[in-house]
Amino acid sequence: MLKKINGSQSKRLNAEEIPHVRIADANFPAPFRSGLEYSSPARGTWNIVHTGMLIPEAHEIFVCAAGCLRGVVLTAAEMGTMDRFSTVAVRENNLLDGDMEDLVIEGVTDIIKKLPKRPPAVLVYTSCVHHFTGVDLDMIYSVLRSRFPDIDFTDCYMNPIMRKSGLTPDQLMRSRLYMLLHERTIDPKAVAIIGNDLPTDEDSDLMKVLKGAGLKVHEITSCKTYEEYQQMAESRVYVSYNPDAAPGGDMLSERLGGIHYALKFSFDYDEIDATFAGLADVLGIEPRSSEEIAALRAECERELEETKRLIGDTAVSIDYTFCPRPLGLAELLLDHGINVTKVYADGIPGGDKAAFGSLQKEHPDLMFYPTVHPGMRFARTANAEEKEEGKILAIGQKAAAFEETDHFVNVVEGGGMTGYEAVTRTCRLMREAFLERKEMRELVQVKGLGCEVCIR
């Protein structure tokens, strides 16, 4: 139970006053008006530091104000990668003096000279202040490349002010991740999975298809050296399944000449079949047979039935950090009799538009809750006070935190699942979460789930 602020005896919002809307009454794609934003204590999603560190041996240098540096420095510290991380602090005099280019160039140069070992690649992250002061980034990188011809530099960005216009910082970061790849001879049997932070499940449909076809599969999450990372450039096909990786995949294809295929992450059987058929076409392999598909669907149905049988009418909440298609998952579960009552998401992903429409018609009383609305500060208090006896099963960390439940599926960003395996694995994880408690408070506060961390 949450404590009240000293001296405040009044409960600010009760459960009914917590902002929410019936899905039948919600607007696409933004069900809630934007305003002040609250920050949930759930921290499992990755940030640009975690993602950048996926490039083996690369060094990250952030050039920002102290307030912006604070979060990224401590991300690196919690990962235990401070030896691959440095900073240049932007101060007020730099804004006034207009010496921002010099600060970046000389700061980065200073750091590189002090490093005990020359890194093969340096990711330089500039920030909102550089964007607003019109800093000449081309000149900066040109000078750095001429000073350090043995180092690959790439431009990265921590400019959240741009998150509502153009590519989001997350999309940009995922595109920068592959900008360091050098063109090399293409191996027709090589494929790269790109844009995911977490390793793709060996049991996933994608991995089974690729390995079943005898292809060499590259993935940044398994690269141990910079050379291994560079070998990704030999791929004939680049496959992304995180929607935020798609723009980067297109850029990569244009630059290196391979084919980018954006596999859809979905819980809809027909859409799964269609997207895997498209992949087979690009790879030049046989698509899955109707017998194979029938078997996969039957397995999904068995898993869903078993899950329903175990959890009965237990209320289920889903949040958007679990996977790119929270509404698709809600639709699948509701259609199989599972009692999904709430979805936590601030917006509706484009890929979920069809599921949104179906849910409005078939399950109009499903409740939609935001995660950043200022009133959500009091959701945990209200839910804890109002919670009836019995379990609430949460799918995703934010749902778990808002519902104050230790019965939750602790996965972010799809967890490396693809295809029908996303259905079966989610079901298994739900049953496990139903039967076993987790230390929710401890687990959800760890940054970058699945990343190596030194904390706790």
Partner 1 sequence: MKQTARIISTYSADVMGVCSALFELDGMTVMHDASGCNSTYTTHDEPRWYDMDSMVYISGISEMEAIMGDDEKLISDIVDAAKVLKPAFIAIAGTPIPTMTGFDFEAVASVIESRTGTPSFGFPTTGMNTYIHGASMALAGIAKRFVDDPGDSKNGEGNTLQMSARKLASVLDDCCMRPNGIKVNVLGLTPLDFSVNGTDDSIVQWLEREGFEVVSKWAMGNSLDEIRRSAEADVNLVVSAAGYGAAKVLYERFGMPYAIGYPVGNELPGLLADQIILNVKKFREQGGADTFESSEISVDSGVFLNESEGVNGSTYEKGFAAVIGEGITSLSLASTIELECGIPAKVLCATECPEDILRECDRMTPDEDDIIPELQGAAFVIADPLYKPIVPESAKFISLPSEAFSGRIYRDEIPDLVDDINELLIKIK
Footprint (CB under 8 A) of partner 1, residues 161-190: 161-165
Instruction: Give residue for tokens 């490396």.
Output: 416
Least Å distance, CB 11 to partner 1, is 10
Q: Pairing mode, if any, of strands 187-194 and 121-127?
A: unpaired
DSSP per residue, 223-262: --SHHHHHGGGGEEEEEE-SGGGHHHHHHHHHHH--EEEE
Rounded to whole angstroms, the Cα distance separating 158 from 130 reads 10
CA distance 242 to 130: 29
Binding residue count for partner 1, defined by CB under 8 A: 73
State the nearest-atom distance from the C-beta of 41 to partner 1, in Å: 5
**Cα gap 339→315, rounded to integer Å:** 5
Of 112 and 327, nearer to partner 1 (C-beta) is 112
Nearest approach in angstroms of CB 351 to partner 1 is 23
Q: Which two tokens stand for residue 417?
A: 């699942």
Contact between 139 and partner 1 by CB under 8 A: the answer reads no
Instruction: Choose the binding region for partner 1 from 22-30, 67-75, 181-189, 217-225 (rule: CB under 8 A).
Output: 67-75
Report in angstroms how near the CB of residue 212 gets to partner 1 at its nearest.
41
Q: Contact, 422 vs 267, CB < 8 A? A: yes
Footprint on residues 420-449 left by partner 1 (CB under 8 A): 441, 445, 447
Minimum distance from residue 127 beta carbon to partner 1 (Å): 8
133 binds partner 1 (CB under 8 A): yes
Q: How far is the CB of 169 from partner 1 (least distance, A)?
A: 8
Closest contact distance (angstroms) between CB of 450 and partner 1 is 17
Q: Is residue 76 a contact partner of residue 49, using CB atoms and an 8 Å limit?
A: yes
Closest approach of Cβ 318 to partner 1, in Å? 21
The footprint of partner 1 on residues 349-368 (CB under 8 A) is none
Closest contact distance (angstroms) between CB of 156 and partner 1 is: 14
Nearer to partner 1, 5 or 290 (CB): 5
- Residue 80 or residue 188: which is nearer to partner 1 going by CB? 80
Q: Which stretch, 199-207, 218-226, 252-260, 372-380, contacts partner 1 (CB under 8 A)?
A: 372-380
Taking the least distance from each CB to partner 1, the nearer of 36 and 290 is 36
- Other C-beta atoms lying within 10 Å of the C-beta of residue 113: 10
Among 16, 67, 270, 365, binds partner 1 (CB under 8 A): 67
The correct pick among 25, 83, 136, 386 for binding partner 1 (CB under 8 A) is 83
Q: Which of 87, 90, 99 is nearest to 49 (CA)?
A: 87
Binder of partner 1 out of 14, 28, 29, 115 (CB under 8 A): 115
| 245 in Cβ contact with 46 (< 8 Å) | no
Beta strands in 115-196 (DSSP E): 121-127, 152-158, 187-194
Which range of residues in 73-81, 185-193, 357-365, 417-425 is near partner 1 by CB under 8 A? Answer: 73-81
How far is Cα 160 from Cα 63, in angstroms, rounded to an integer?
A: 14
Smallest separation (angstroms) from partner 1 to the CB of 396: 17
Minimum CB distance to partner 1 smaller for 13 or for 137: 13
CB of 288 to partner 1, least distance (A): 41
Query: Of 153-161, 173-181, 274-282, 426-434, which part binds partner 1 (CB under 8 A)?
Result: 153-161
Contact 79, 454 (CB under 8 A): yes
In the structure encoding, which two tokens stand for residue 38, read together?
A: 């609250």
Annotate each residue in 2-41 with x if it binds partner 1 (CB under 8 A) or - if it does not, as one string.
Answer: xxxxxxx---xx---x----------------xxxxxx-x
Nearest distance in Å: CB 58, partner 1: 15
323 scored as a contact of partner 1 (CB under 8 A): no
Among 49, 55, 124, 127, binds partner 1 (CB under 8 A): 127
Q: Does 132 bind partner 1 (CB under 8 A)?
A: yes
What are the C-alpha distances in Å from 437 to residues 104, 174, 385? 48, 34, 20
Q: Residue 417 CB: number of other CB atoms within 10 A? A: 25
What is the CA angle 425-428-433, rounded to 5?
120
Question: Hey, which residues between 85 and 114 contact partner 1 (CB under 8 A)?
Answer: 85-92, 95, 103, 106-107, 110-111, 114
Which residue, among 265, 74, 48, 43, has the nearest Cα to 177 in the 3D structure? 48
Q: Residue 401 contacts by C-beta under 8 Å, 6 or more apart in sequence?
A: 40, 41, 42, 380, 440, 444
Find the binder of partner 1 among 49, 54, 129, 417 (CB under 8 A).
129
User: What is each CA distance from 242 to 146, 198, 253, 444, in whole angstroms?
Assistant: 35, 10, 16, 22
